Amino acid sequence: MGVFEAPSNVTGHEQVVFCQDKESGLKAIIAIYSTALGPALGGTRFYAYANEDDAVYDALDLSKGMAYKNALAGLDLGGGKAVIWGDPATDKSEPLLRAYGRFIETLGGRYITACDVGTYVQDMDVIAKETSFVTGRSSDHGGAGDSSVLTAWGVVCGMRAALQHRFETTSFAGRTVGIAGVGKVGRYLVPHMIEEGAEVVATDIAPQAKKWLAENYPQVTFVDSTQELITSNIDIYAPCALGGALDDDTVAQLRASIVVGSANNQLAHPGVEKLLQDRGILYAPDYLVNSGGVIQVSDEIEGFNFDRAKRRASQIFDITQTILRTADAENVSPAVAADALAERRIADCGRIRTIYLGKN
């Protein structure tokens, strides 16, 4: 697949950069979807793609998603994303990460990286040896640390807004929340839910997640599959594992009347948002409610301040309310309303940059 011939849902990028350093084995693709709102911020995914087409597609798709996410979160940042093609378990090395950092530096700040699947805070510290255009570094290096902290908090804020919209109360009392995926985000979300007074049902395919729950939160009911979770008596479904959690079958069987979770790309295909709407299930768009993580790492650009970042992530409550109300008023799904708001901010705020400043 050539970049210019990419499927229509992932075209329209400003710039796509291919980077190679044969000695270290680096093969990376940096995709910048839009810099209309500012430098393109988005993480680096280190993944063993089956082929180059898959790597290119992922970079194009994810970078577009970041542009929408950053716009809706009210950040003065455009959208970008990078992929490193390789197996992080065997191919990651200091020279490879540093070579990658130097390529980021060549973009002069048009792209700012962060963690994603297969990359961690420690990797950002290594990349930072070669470029200043990196966030998500460790707190030892002035970084924002693990973005899962505010990702989980943002999901709580999104849930509160959905509860308010549906039940006219933000209280979780008497509600049961089903969490699929007790990984980095899920492990912060579980204690939040317990503090909020919710009953929690959870599932995960990893045995260590089940063990962690039993040791730390024995009051959580563990079920053995997502199928069992979605057909349990839950009020809120929180997909916190992989993408594609909401497909035709899941929507048809889901007992919950609200879906709010951290997983990216929850809708398995276009049209699922309509199926949810038709069944009366309130779906808060994933890229809206999981933006706490990018809010956390973007704060690092100013010099990280956790309280400021948390206050900003708390605004996910207000934005979610706005989207849900707009969706009702315009009789569209929240996913459609969210896309429209993000596109409007990119166009409106991006346009003012065309005003000539009289210098250079």
- Residue ranges binding ligand NAD (CB under 6 A): 147-148, 151, 180-186, 203-206, 209, 226, 240-242, 262-264, 290, 293
* Residues belonging to the active site: 81
- In whole angstroms, the minimum distance from the beta carbon of 317 to ligand NAD comes to 17
Q: CB nearer to ligand NAD: give 119 or 151.
A: 151
3-state secondary structure of 356: coil
Place of tokens 């276009």: 270
- In whole angstroms, the minimum distance from the beta carbon of 327 to ligand NAD comes to 22
Q: CB nearer to ligand NAD: give 107 or 220.
A: 220
- How does DSSP classify residue 301? G
Residue nearest to ligand NAD (CB): 183
- CB neighbours of residue 148 within 10 Å: 21
Place of tokens 């929850």: 266
Q: Which ranges in 183-305 belong to alpha helices (H)?
A: 184-196, 207-216, 226-230, 248-253, 272-278, 286-289, 292-298
Q: CB nearer to ligand NAD: give 107 or 112.
A: 112
* Cβ pair 171, 197 in contact under 8 A: yes
Length of the chain: 360
Which of 254, 267, 198 lies closest to 228 in space, CA to CA? 254
Q: What are residue 304's DSSP bridge partners?
A: none
Q: CB nearer to ligand NAD: give 158 or 293.
A: 293
- In whole angstroms, the minimum distance from the beta carbon of 184 to ligand NAD comes to 4
Angle between helices 334-351 and 52-72 (to 10 degrees): 80
- In whole angstroms, the minimum distance from the beta carbon of 153 to ligand NAD comes to 10
